[in-house]
Amino acid sequence: MSNEVATHDDADGYRLTLELSHPDCWMLEATSESAARLLVNAVYIVEGNVKAHVVAHANETETIDDLVAVTRASAHTYAVTELHSRHEFGSVSVPVKQATRGLLVQYDPEDSIHDALVSRGLMPQEPIRIRDGTEYWTVAVDEPRDALQSKLDDVRQAKAAEISVQQISARDNESKADLDTRHLSNRQREVFELARSRGYYEWPREVSASDLADELDISKATLLEHLRTAESKLLGPE
C-alpha cells in the first residue's frame, strides 16, 4: 500500500457497527425484562453523574410502563424523569404507530460504557439502540485500521464487555462493506460469509447464532469463536 493511500485511509477513517453488552447497565437490564426498546438520544455528564435522554418505544403503552417501572427499581439508576412531549429535545427515529416516551435517567458513570468508547475515539454516529438486553452502536473512528482491534480490546477489558463487530466500512464509502476475507481460513470464511448472507449482521438480526450453528452442524460456542476470530482478522492490518 502506498503512502498516499495509507494517508487517505487514515484521514477518512472507518465506520463500525457494534453489538455489545456489559455489566451493571440499567438499559440492558430494563430491555431484558421488558419487550420495550430504547433509543439513546443524548448523554451528558452533570455534577459527576451521567444524565441520558432516552426514548422508550413499544407496541403498547403498558409495555413502556413496565420498562419505566424496572428502570425506577434498578439498583443502577439514581433518578428517572418522564418527559412530556413539550419538554422533549433532539430527535430520534422510531417505527411508526408505536407508543413512545421520553425519559431523563441519571446514573453512575462507572455503569456506563459510553465514555470508554468515546474516549478512545469511537464516536456515535446514530442514536444508540438497545433491545433484548443488547446495545447496538454505529460509530466513526479516525484511526488506522490496525489500531481498531486494540481499541475494542481495551474497552472489553476496561468494562468487562462483550463486543462483536457487525460491519466495518470506509467512511468515504459507507454503503459498501470494506471487508477483505482473503486472510481468513477456509472455515472462518465459510462461517463468516454464511452469517452475512443469512442476515446475522443486519439490524435487526435476521438469524440467530444457534440457527447458524445448526445449519453448519457445529456448536454455538464454536460458531461464535469462528466469528470472533474472523472479526479480529478483518480489523487487523491490511
Q: What's the confidence (pLDDT) of residue 139?
A: 93
Domains in the chain (CATH in brackets) are 12-174 (no CATH), 179-238 (1.10.10)
The model scores a pTM over 0.85: no
Query: Does the pLDDT of residue 115 top 80, yes or no?
Result: yes
**pLDDT tens digits along 5-55:** 233 344 458 889 899 999 999 999 999 999 999 999 889 999 999 999 999
The rounded distance, in Å, linking the Cα atoms of 120 and 99 is: 35
**pLDDT tens digits along 193-217:** 888 888 887 656 678 889 999 999 9
Collapse the DSSP code of 233 into the 3-class scheme (helix H, G, I; strand E, B; otherwise coil) and give the result: helix
User: What's the Cα-to-Cα distance from 193 to each of 159, 175, 180, 184, 187, rounded to whole Å?
Assistant: 30, 18, 11, 11, 10
- DSSP string across 174-222: TTS----GGGS-HHHHHHHHHHHHTTTTSSS-SS-HHHHHHHHTS-HHH
